[in-house]
Chain A
Amino acid sequence: MKKRHVEEAVARILMLLSFGLLAGSLGLILLTVVVKGAPALTLAMLTQVPQGGYYLGKGGGILNAIVGSLYLAGGGTAVALLLSLPIALYLGSYTRRRSRWALVVRLALDVLWGIPSIVYGAFGFTIMIALGMRASLLGGILVLALLELPIMVRAMDEVIRMVPAALGQAALALGATRLENALHIVTRQTLPGLATAVLLAFGRGIGDAASVLFTAGYTDRIPTSLLQPAASLPLAVFFQLGTPFPEVQQRGYAAALVLTVLVLAVSLGSRWLAARLGRYAVK
């Protein structure tokens, strides 16, 4: 067989191996989490907060972390949405194609996107100290909002840019203001994409530990006010795995399983939502 055909065959084999490696890794990760976490996943885990001696092996559950994570990510995503939508709409509907400012903003967003979450946490911590705030739900929400902002804007921006220019022009030709065009037409057209962007950011926020480490604190209770510290699932996993007691470590795996299921549910949910909301879009 000619040399070049042999090379081609070898290359194909290597490519399929690489593929298999990555697919296998994904499978292995999910398998690990399920196998280690499922045994310790009892109803009590999901419905109770840690009782006394929980970290020594006694009773209770991770409800504090589940609710805390939902509060943190929910609040953070809401704040991020409030800030992201105007930015994305401005970039997409108000600026011309080659606007210099849009370029600068997008570059800044891309750089922000790549900044490690621990730097966000450190920054949040710095500001909180300066303002005299203590580790709390509010602090965690604000830092998560900042962390999610670049992710959300970028995803929204991508969808909004796909709106054909002709659609916007049709609206303006009818006498709509740019605001009306943006709010009524663009958002409706891109609703599935926007929803996906929000859920994407939510999924990122709920899974992040490094940023809430400094800013949200940790507690065994469910916070009842914004100024109280809040537990989070990633930190629950981390702390429980760090104890020397096997029963507690088991619970750590269970918490990891809960977190993974939550994130997968959000991911699948966003696809379903995108499909449902896409009914009004102009193809």
Chain B
Amino acid sequence: MWARREAARQLAADPPQATPVLSRSRRARDRWAGRLFLGATVLPLALLVAMSIALLARTWPILQARPIWHLLTGQTWRPLQGEFGFRPFIIGTAWVTAVAMAVAIPPCLLSAVYLVEYARPITRAVVKPLLDLLAGIPSVVYGVWGVVVVVPWVKNALLPTIGAWLGFIPLFAPTNPSGFSVLAGGIVLAVMVAPFIIAVSYEVLDSVPNGLREASLAVGATRWQTVQHAVLPQSAPGIVAGIVLGASRALGETMAVLMVVGNVARTPTSIFDPAYPLTALIANNYGEMLSIPLYDSALLGAALMLLGIVVLFNSASTLVLHRVTGRWAA
């Protein structure tokens, strides 16, 4: 017992050093890297904030000079006379986006349903790269296609037929014979956002548990009845969110729509009318921005408007999609 007490006293006086496994420099590097990486993650949020502030700051002069209600609902756009009525452009954007969605949604949903519910694995394997390809084509190339194929098609094929049969309805009135129209813009945008809507709808439909499908099939439903009554109602929120995201992308497109939509600053009344979306407004006139008073404020205000709408649509949709599929949007 005496020896033990002696040994313990010696240990307490002179404890053996633990050999360090983690050297100081490795630890320091890890700490610094961690801080650096964390710092980097601030970037996205900071960028969003910076964009909003910068654009707001540049828009401020015109917000001071004109009541916001006049800006949003004014019909005339004459920058040289200081008249900045955004209404034709806002409505133009809305019309082109609406036509694009109307054209895109049915085929895209049907395609997504086909891919998830009916297609064999080999079909899916072939189609996925094709969709990626379509999604990767630059905006100007879509514009080229629009000018070479879509506009003439609208002018020579759709205008005579739809304009003739349905022309009594103001929406389809054959007012503008050139083919550069809301319809042309809508068609081009529809093809542009199609891969995206299909991809998101695919994810949403795929996340529906198979047990639900089997529950419907077990009482003798056909596949289509199962889709109608079980799968689609279950995926409705996600599909809607995907469509909203698609609309958001459509209304932000610049080059492709710019080349086919006519760029006339009047509120359209028919799908054959030309239109002037906000994106085209900014792109076409940025050159003169700084030479006319308040012009830069107005155009950057248009950019701010786009930012606001897109942020609103996207945050809401992304949150819904995250809840539905369990992961972030495709």
User: Beyond the given A4-B221, A22-B134, could you list 11 further A-B residue pairs with CB under 8 A, ordered by the A residue number?
Assistant: A4-B224, A8-B224, A33-B144, A91-B41, A110-B329, A117-B254, A149-B44, A177-B26, A210-B254, A263-B136, A264-B136
Interface residues of A in 144-193 (CB under 8 A from B): 146, 149-150, 153-154, 157, 175, 177-180, 182
**Interface: A19 (CB within 8 A):** yes
CA distance A270 to B145 in the complex (A): 26
Residue of chain A at shortest CB distance from B250: A116
CA distance A260 to B29 in the complex (A): 44
**Interface: B73 (CB within 8 A):** no
CA distance A155 to B325 in the complex (A): 17
Main DSSP-derived SS at the B contact region: helix
Residues of A at under 8 Å CB distance from B?
A: 4-5, 7-8, 11-12, 14-19, 21-23, 25-26, 28-29, 32-33, 36, 83, 86-87, 89-91, 94, 101, 104-119, 122-123, 125-127, 130, 146, 149-150, 153-154, 157, 175, 177-180, 182, 203-204, 206-210, 213-214, 234, 237-238, 241, 252-253, 256, 259-260, 263-264, 267, 271
- 20 A-B pairs in the complex with CB atoms less than 8 angstroms apart: A11-B227, A15-B110, A18-B114, A26-B133, A29-B134, A32-B148, A33-B145, A86-B40, A89-B37, A94-B37, A117-B254, A119-B306, A149-B43, A153-B44, A175-B21, A175-B22, A207-B139, A209-B138, A214-B286, A267-B136
Q: Which of A18, A210, A259 contacts B141 (CB 8 A)?
A: A259
Q: Counting chain B CB atoms within 10 Å of each CB, which of A7, A115, A253, A259 scores highest? A: A115
- Per-position contact with A for B298-311: 1 when CB-CB < 8 Å, else 0? 01100100110011
CA distance A21 to B194 in the complex (A): 11
Interface residues of B in 72-129 (CB under 8 A from A): 106-108, 110-111, 113-114, 118, 127, 129
How far, in Å, is B89 (CB) from chain A's closest CB? 13
CA distance A5 to B248 in the complex (A): 38
CA distance A8 to B249 in the complex (A): 33
Q: Is the CB–CB distance between B136 and A203 below 8 Å?
A: yes
CA distance A252 to B144 in the complex (A): 9
Return chain B residues, CB-CB under 8 Å to A178.
30, 34
Q: Is the CB–CB distance between B45 and A105 below 8 Å?
A: yes
Q: Is the CB–CB distance between B286 and A86 below 8 Å?
A: no
Q: Is the CB–CB distance between A108 and B136 below 8 Å?
A: no
Q: Is the CB–CB distance between B30 and A123 below 8 Å?
A: no
CA distance A21 to B311 in the complex (A): 31
**Interface: B184 (CB within 8 A):** no
Return chain B residues, CB-CB under 8 Å to A90.
37-38, 40-41
**Interface: B66 (CB within 8 A):** no
Residue of chain A at shortest CB distance from B104: A22
Main DSSP-derived SS at the A contact region: helix
Q: Is the CB–CB distance between B44 and A267 below 8 Å?
A: no
Q: Is the CB–CB distance between A21 and B107 below 8 Å?
A: yes
How far, in Å, is B319 (CB) from chain A's closest CB? 7
Return chain B residues, CB-CB under 8 Å to A104.
45
Residue of chain B at shortest CB distance from A120: B51
CA distance A127 to B54 in the complex (A): 8
Given A179-B33, A267-B136, A118 contacting B328 (CB threshold 8 A): no
**Interface: B62 (CB within 8 A):** no
Q: Which of B54, B110, B129, B253 contacts A116 (CB 8 A)?
A: B253
Ranked 3 nearest A-B pairs via Cβ: A116-B252, A207-B138, A18-B107
Q: Is the CB–CB distance between B106 and A115 below 8 Å?
A: no
Q: Which of A5, A23, A106, A241 contacts B144 (CB 8 A)?
A: A241
**Interface: B274 (CB within 8 A):** no
Given A87-B41, A259-B138, A267-B132, A8 contacting B222 (CB threshold 8 A): yes
**Interface: B217 (CB within 8 A):** no
Return chain B residues, CB-CB under 8 Å to A126.
54-55, 57-58, 300
Interface residues of B in 6-47 (CB under 8 A from A): 21-22, 26-27, 29-30, 33-34, 36-38, 40-41, 43-45, 47
Q: Is the CB–CB distance between B147 and A83 below 8 Å?
A: no
Interface residues of B in 138-161 (CB under 8 A from A): 138-145, 147-149
Given A112-B48, A213-B283, A256 contacting B41 (CB threshold 8 A): no
